[in-house]
Amino acid sequence: MKKKYRKVMGLAMAVALAAAVPATAGSAGTETSEFASVDWAIEPRGQYISSSRAGITNKGSGVIGITASTTAHEEVDKIRISLYLDRLEGGSWNQVADYDYTFLPSDMPNGKLTKATLSFTVTDQPAEHYYRIRGSHGVWKGSVIESQDTYSDGVYISSDPVYRSADETE
């Protein structure tokens, strides 16, 4: 009877220990500085996609900064990044703009496509609202298509200027 009890208790402890070990599939967070915040999301690895990222910043004076990137483990045939700008209105996120970019090996100086990165500003949206960016990142390799989705937290876009020190503008 003691042997059976020990086996059952040992199994129960093993299950409890396995359940207590944390597992992380991806990471997301906020970076802040004295002049702006960057909300970003990074999704986990895939067969070809190493990472995908989308971020949004308050550039000041109603200007929205958007960045995105997709990195592959090896050379791929195509990377596509589709971005969707959402505005918080009445407690709900509503899409207000979308941006679509396709990258090919012929776009790269060395003819090898392993990473696609973009950065741009948006000036045609009203300030004094919260905005977020959602991304759909796709990688093509032969007949395989792999995709990941990213999204940021909301960032308040102010109409006030954002002041930067001389060191931050260089």
Domains, the chain, ranges and CATH?
A: 32-163 (2.60.40)
Residue 102: strand pairing partners: 80
Predicted TM-score (pTM) of this structure:
0.70
pLDDT at residue 93, as a whole number: 97
pLDDT at residue 47, as a whole number: 84
* pLDDT tens column, 12-21: 444 443 333 3
* pLDDT tens column, 122-140: 999 999 999 999 999 999 9
pLDDT at residue 24, as a whole number: 28
* Residue 105 to residue 84: CA distance in whole angstroms: 25
- Write out the chain's pLDDT in tens, 170 residues: 555 544 444 444 444 433 333 332 333 333 333 334 444 445 456 789 999 999 999 999 999 999 999 999 999 999 999 999 999 999 999 999 999 999 999 999 999 999 999 999 999 999 999 999 999 999 999 999 999 999 999 999 999 887 655 555 44
Q: Which two tokens stand for residue 26?
A: 């991806």
pLDDT at residue 44, as a whole number: 52
DSSP β-ladder status, 129-141 and 144-151 = antiparallel
Across the beta sheet with 49-60, what order do the strands follow? 27-32, 37-43, 49-60, 63-72, 115-122
* Residue 145 to residue 70: CA distance in whole angstroms: 14
> Which position has the token pair 């960032």?
155
